[in-house]
Amino acid sequence: MEILVCVKRVPTVGGAITLTADRRAIDTKASGFTISPHEECAVEEAVRLVERFGGSVTVATLGPVAAEEQLRACLALGASAAVLVETEPGVEVGPIATAAALHSVAAGGAFDLVLLGNEASDTGDYQVGIRLAHLLGWPVATGIKALPVDDAGGSGSSVSASRTYRGVLETFALPLPCVVTVKEGINLPRYPSLPGRLRAKRAPITRVPGPDGASDGAAQSAQSAQSAQSVGDVRMTSLRVPDAPKKQATVLGQGAAAVPKLVDVLVELGVVS
């Protein structure tokens, strides 16, 4: 079973956010990077399927050369090959151009299944998986939390993709090849082993240039922004990092002497009356 997993290099969740000197963009120079939790689960699910049915897992991403770090992390988890669709550093590519770039990878290989995270943790676009399936002409299911596979590798192979929507379990039968976006919780991703890390360091990564769709997407975004500015005179002047909530503590006293004040606080909070 040949599986392609598409991942994205995103800032580490919970990291401190700093702005560039002109306060018009987020400064990522000092940020740690990883892949989204949904995508970690997608890699794990792909590795489990290959362990069960045989085949290989290929991971692909669209990003700068530094994104090789995230690809090697996926290789350490059990992926067999990695593809980097290279873009210029600092260039943010939208979902339309991203799907077009990943389509060039997916269409060029004989993949039975393409897995993605349900959404990226930084932009939350929810679009790339659906757009990629549309370009491939394959069926797609999103928000999946269970993915049993029947008769993998044989004629009539299919997947049964399940998700919960508003308290109701929905199950979709999809013929292979297909595209599936998974959510965190479909599995518990493994930790990379030491042999896996060593193998990932030596593994070659295939680099391909970013397609014209990346520049077209950037031009389309610029054109949309210019149109919005001319119509409503809307423009971004600067960004601001919200102030962190202040934390403070009050010492009520020591030992038994603090009990009366503690009772007063509990009464004020409505815990006791």
Give the residue with greater pLDDT, 23 vs 14: 23
CA gap 77, 47 in Å, rounded: 8
Of 26-35, 71-80, 208-217, 231-240, the range with the lowest mean pLDDT is 208-217
Of 4-8, 117-121, 234-238, the range with the lowest mean pLDDT is 234-238
Give the residue with greater pLDDT, 178 vs 211: 178
Helix (H) or strand (E) holding 155: none
pLDDT tens digits along 175-185? 999 999 999 98
CA gap 35, 6 in Å, rounded: 10
Do residues 117 and 44 lie in contact, with contact meaning Cβ atoms separated by under 8 Å? no
Mean pLDDT in residue range 164-187: 91
CA nearest 111: which of 60, 160, 166? 60
CA gap 258, 253 in Å, rounded: 4
- What pLDDT does 153 receive? 47
CA gap 115, 58 in Å, rounded: 10
Is the link from the previous residue into 177 a cis peptide, with omega within 30 of 0? yes
Give the residue with greater pLDDT, 152 vs 118: 118
* DSSP E strand boundaries for 90-217: 113-117, 140-144, 149-150, 158-165, 168-175, 178-182, 206-209
And the tokens for 19? 């702005």
CA gap 266, 257 in Å, rounded: 16
Do residues 122 and 10 lie in contact, with contact meaning Cβ atoms separated by under 8 Å? yes
- What pLDDT does 113 receive? 94
- What pLDDT does 139 receive? 95
Which of the four CATH numbers 3.40.50.970, 3.40.50.620, 3.90.79.10, 3.40.190.10 does domain 2-229 have? 3.40.50.620
Range from 10-24, 174-188, 201-215, 248-262 that averages highest in pLDDT: 174-188
Q: What percent of the chain has pLDDT over 90?
A: 44
Does pLDDT of 227 surpass 60?
Answer: no
- Give me the residue spans of the domains in the chain: 2-229
- What pLDDT does 112 receive? 92
CB atoms within 10 A of CB 85: 24
